[in-house]
Amino acid sequence: MRFSSRLPSSVSYASLERVAEELEHARSLFRRLGCLVVDVTDRAIEETAGIILDARKHRIQP
């Protein structure tokens, strides 16, 4: 599946405006899909994994 940008080709990919629009598009998609979003800033991989496993445990009941 290919996602196309809604920005004109004259906009630089690394511009602050482009990055902000890409982030908002991603946030909107994550909200629509109900995705878990984990802020991994200053977290060890083990802590991040624990958050994900806890979230799965609470969402998936056997």
Tell me what percent of the residues of the chain surpass a pLDDT of 70: 76
31 vs 60: CA distance, rounded Å: 19
pLDDT for 61 beyond 90: no
Nearest in space to 36 (alpha carbons), one of 52, 53, 47:
52
Average pLDDT for the chain:
85
Q: Is the pLDDT of residue 36 over 80?
A: yes
What is the pTM assigned to this prediction? Answer: 0.58
**pLDDT number for residue 35:** 92
8 Å CB contact between 55 and 36: yes
CB-neighbour burial class of residue 51 (10 A; exposed 0-12, middle 13-18, buried 19+):
middle
